A = this chain, B = another copy of it.
């Protein structure tokens, strides 16, 4: 029974998936807009249009919700990387293009802002740290792999670029001047490539 046409209320599994997705989306928005420290479960629930009871049902503790959010951030990042690598924009591109891709992935959207919030917070949060460490590890290795086709040492250059961009994105949260950062990044590309 239970034909799809007659079903008014979705199945339990669908409800769970949808609710978790809504809560995670709201969590990411709050982190991006108000910062990790101000991401209270109450705000998240209000943003998601959900009662606190619903949230505690799917994520019984705040930590569980935030850790899920951490993994979601990196999952989205990974998705960007995957699409970038699968699409061969030309059979013979230059390492410089990888740098430009990293720049783009860094400064469009606010994923990296959220990620820096998470990393800084995890330094003093023993519960968070293991989860962040693990996910960050995989993210960094995935980005290093972007450099592999360009000879030995390229992976190191990519990793350096990642740290540089992380420092820059924190800077961008305080200083609006984007021009200077872009200029500096050009300098960096010139000496690294």
- Name the residue of chain B whose CB is nearest to the CB of A128: B174
For window 108-125 of A, CB contacts with B under 8 Å fall at: 113, 116-117, 119-125
Identify whether the interface residues of A are mostly helix, strand, loop, or mixed: helix
B-binding segment of A6-14, A34-42, A45-53, A56-64: A34-42
Q: How far is the CA of A132 from the CA of B113 in the complex (A)?
A: 17
- Residue A166 is within 8 A (CB to CB) of chain B in the complex: yes
The interface bits of chain A over 160-179 (1 if a CB of B lies within 8 angstroms of the residue's CB, else 0) are 10111111101101110000
Assess the A117–B120 pair: CB atoms within 8 A. yes
Contact B120 A116 (CB under 8 A): yes
Instruction: Name the CB-closest residue of B to A35.
Output: B124
Give the number of chain A interface residues (Cβ < 8 Å).
Answer: 43
With A33-B124, A35-B125, A125-B35 already in contact, the answer to whether A184 and B171 are too (CB < 8 A) is no
Is A4 interfacial (CB 8 A cutoff)?
A: no
Looking across the interface, which residue of chain B has its beta carbon closest to that of A32? B124
Protomer copies: 2
Evaluate contact between B137 and A159: CB separation under 8 angstroms. Answer: no
Tell me whether A20 is interfacial, beta carbon within 8 Å: no
Cα(A125)–Cα(B188), bound, Å: 31
A173 pairs with B35, CB closer than 8 A: no
Q: Which residue of B lies closest to A153 (CB)?
A: B187
Find A167's partner among B124, B166, B191 (CB 8 Å cutoff): B166
Residue of B nearest to A188 (CB): B160
The residue that A163 contacts in the complex, of B120, B133, B167, B173, with Cβ under 8 A, is: B167
Distance in angstroms from A185 CB to nearest chain B CB is: 9
Q: A35-B124, A136-B175, A137-B175 are in contact. Are A116 and B170 (CB under 8 A)?
A: yes
Residue A18 at the chain B interface, CB threshold 8 Å:
no
Can you list 12 A-B contacts (CB < 8 A)?
Answer: A34-B124, A35-B123, A35-B125, A37-B121, A38-B124, A113-B123, A119-B171, A122-B173, A137-B175, A162-B167, A163-B167, A166-B167
